[in-house]
Chains A and B, each alone.
Chain A
Amino acid sequence: MEIRSKEFKSRAVFAIHDASLQQAMGKARDGFVGKRAQQAAELPEFEALREEAKNLKNHILENLDHYLERYEDAVKRAGGHVHWARDAQEARAIILDICKRVNAKTITKGKSMVSEEIDLNEALIEHGMEVVETDLGEYIIQLANEPPSHIIAPAVHKTKNQVSDLFEAAHGGPRKTEVADLVNEARQVLREKYFRADVGITGGNFLIAETGSSMIVTNEGNGDLTQTLAKVHIVTSGIERVVPTLDDATLFLRLLARSATGQETETYTTISTGPRRATDLDGPEEYHVVLVDNGRSKMLAGHFRDMLRCIRCGACMNHCPVYGSVGGHAYGWVYPGPMGSVLTPLIKGLDNAYDLPNACTLNGRCASVCPVKIPLPDLLRELRHLQHQQELSPVMQRRALKAWRFVATRPKLYHAGEWIAVRVLKLLGRKGSIRRLPFAQAWTDVRDLPTPEGQTFLQRWQAQRGK
């Protein structure tokens, strides 16, 4: 999808006034946060696992070339093919090539955020292929012609009523209003697609170097039907998703379901190793993995290596007050919330996503729940720093910061200014609060500023010490 992160402010305002969105987001917030907290509380080893997972990811990243080579060799030994894509355009070309070669007409897809990242659907549809998203959430937003608004719950912004409307329009009536009936209707429609599909595309939560396998974790079973019934299975994944062994993947599995959906495990964990064997009765005839760099090797080099630990659980957005208020679409690209505010500027360019690192209160909840301990607020602050250095921030803001630095590095001037400000504010205040403040209207529009007592902090501090 075309990046629209520059419209963050206007989209956020729109989102806050969208009653359906606010209703849907309210429900989601309570569910995700509560269930994760319960899982974390029930597992005494949870914190130890987070620390181990962080260390293991760091180890993998430090030896990434080695594990990728081992993984590639093992995929080939199992009869699969590995393709390397430097960027989105190369990844699309590789997948299109495979689909054209097997004369694909219908392509089913399990959930894959990398496929969103590389704009895959548009490219396939442009070449006359039918693309069917099979994860229920992805299917709903495909019908609505919208991008996902959450990395694991793509239709979290939709109410049941909206889903009823979409299904009625797409499948013909009678209109279903119960969740069970809606799910059943999608089940019947999608079954027919699985069996007709020429190519099935899934993501890969983990790539196992030991066995050359890809691992996906789902609840619905759509990823399994997608890869089992199509003639060709294509896995799309980022190069950072490799892990050395099945045991290493297990460490992340123990954290992933708990952090993502607040379950001990998801329903299905599937390990796929190569194409069907001579004696197998089902399974794909070809197995391909498309490994996508798209900015990742660049992240490995600098301050943002920590971001490559991400296992895409979505806990950071579930716990983010900004995401909870505006939803995922305001962020304007495929990855929303705190992780998206780091990834989007790094993949799509700092100047294309100026507002995202700034749409953060630095409250730190995201980092406190991240299963691989990514210091998200630090990374967002670092991005702000880069924006400032590259002069992407507004001129007025940079001038204000310069003025601030001039004053703040001169204590006498600073204290004098403070002394004046406190007195001016006291004069402005009525009944203990100030209702409107020039230059800070955005702040005072929604709340009052308490009137200062008439002394500066330092004056009071010194008076206190004198006692």
Chain B
Amino acid sequence: MMQTTQNSRDAIFGAIRSALKRSGPLPDARRAELDANVPQHTRPAQDENLLERFIRTFESRAGTVQHIASRAEIPAAVEAYRANMNLPHRAAVGAALKDLIWPADWQVHHNRAGTEELLSVSLCIAAIAETGSLMLGASADSPTTHNFVPDDHVVVLEAASIVGYFEEAWAILRQRSEGMPRATNIISGPSRTADVEQTIQLGAHGPRRVHVLIVAA
């Protein structure tokens, strides 16, 4: 099999180069030039402040937001949300929020989420005001299953980590010493489908609701 793949690889590169009327790879100087290129694409103009724009765009996609004054208020806000949604006293909480004092009568765990999980709480890396999106990265502190398996996903967003454009969010990823997360999830509201007669229905496969707690800067 490996042999076939190698032959196929060579054949495909051969066909591409012959289509481009070249006999081999580009000259090294040209390759270095291409590698050094930093794209500068048009970014749609924004005329709102970042927080306002994020809230407006995120809410336009059926997400909900709530302001809290400090990190310490997270457990009480989640408890209020849980009670309001009439969910059981348990949650999958990303280990990034492990240090908080969660209600004593809750079953809290920091492992991956299974189908029995109805509520999860995650800390996001950043939010993108352009489209009203949250950016989460897979790690031991934030398992990907928390983002997709439970019905209700509560995401903690530090107001200072809202950026205007996708490009700024990518810059944050590039600065990480551990490199790209295995999965980077850009999430713009609850899961949805329009596959039955173009009727928009929330909660297709992922969360039915995404609630953001914005921690004041």
Contacts and interface: CB of A to CB of B under 8 A. Distances in A.
B85 interface: no
15 contacts: A78-B180, A136-B193, A136-B204, A140-B195, A160-B196, A219-B191, A221-B148, A224-B185, A244-B34, A264-B132, A269-B186, A271-B183, A283-B138, A291-B12, A297-B15
B196 A183 contact: yes
Q: Please indicate which of the listed interface residues B61, B139, B165, B185 has the most CB atoms of chain A within 10 Å of its own CB.
A: B185
A270 interface: yes
Interface of A: 24, 27-28, 31-32, 43-45, 48-49, 52, 56, 62-70, 78, 83-86, 90, 93-94, 97, 134-137, 140, 153-156, 158-160, 163, 179-180, 182-184, 187, 190-192, 195, 211, 213, 219-222, 224-225, 227-229, 239, 244-248, 250-251, 253-254, 261, 264-277, 279-283, 291, 293, 297-298, 300-301
- What are the 4 tightest A-B residue pairs by CB atom distance, in nearest-first order? A221-B206, A301-B19, A297-B15, A220-B204
A273 B26 CA distance: 27
Given A94-B1, A221-B206, A267-B187, A239 B37 contact: no
A246 B193 contact: no
Interface of B: 1, 4-5, 8-9, 11-13, 15-20, 22, 25-26, 31, 34-35, 37-39, 41-45, 57, 61, 111-112, 114-115, 131-133, 138-140, 143-145, 147-149, 165-167, 170, 173, 179-199, 201, 203-207
Nearest to B169: A246
A180 B45 CA distance: 37
A315 B43 CA distance: 22
A251 B41 contact: yes
Nearest to A78: B180
Contacts of B189: 267
Contacts of B197: 24, 27, 159-160, 179
A191 B18 CA distance: 47
A23 to B, nearest CB: 9
Contacts of A251: 39, 41-42
Contacts of B38: 247
B150 to A, nearest CB: 11
Given A228-B183, A244-B39, A251-B41, A31 B12 contact: no
B188 A267 contact: yes
Nearest to B57: A264
A180 B201 contact: yes
